[in-house]
Amino acid sequence: MLAIIMMFVLGVCGIISIGCFIMVIIKMFQNDEATLGIICLVTIFCAIGGLITFVMGWVKADKLQARQIMGIWTGAIVVGMIASFLAQ
């Protein structure tokens, strides 16, 4: 039963992460970081776009005015990691 609940939590964390990813990309385009936004979108297919977006989102959190989004995204990742360990 615990595994089922943890899998649900993982799904919710994944949806939150995707939403935060999209919001950070939008913030990049709105704040004259179009090149970075394009790089993040193109490299998502190489499986590193999310990581680049996450790292650069924190690096430029103040400029992008995305500190709250990045905090939520970080929380979703941490909760997802904990849930994945508990689901085993």
- How many alpha carbons lie under 13 Å from residue 31 in its C-beta half-sphere? 15
CA dist., res. 18 & res. 31, Å (int) = 20
The mean pLDDT value of the chain amounts to: 94
- State yes or no: pLDDT of 86 exceeds 90: no
Residue 66 CA, chain-centre distance (Å), reads: 12
Sequence-separated (6 or more) residues with CB below 8 Å from residue 79:
9, 13
Hey, what are 69's tokens?
């989004």
Q: Where are the domains of the chain?
A: 2-86
Per residue in 54-75, pLDDT (tens digit) is: 999 999 999 999 999 999 999 9
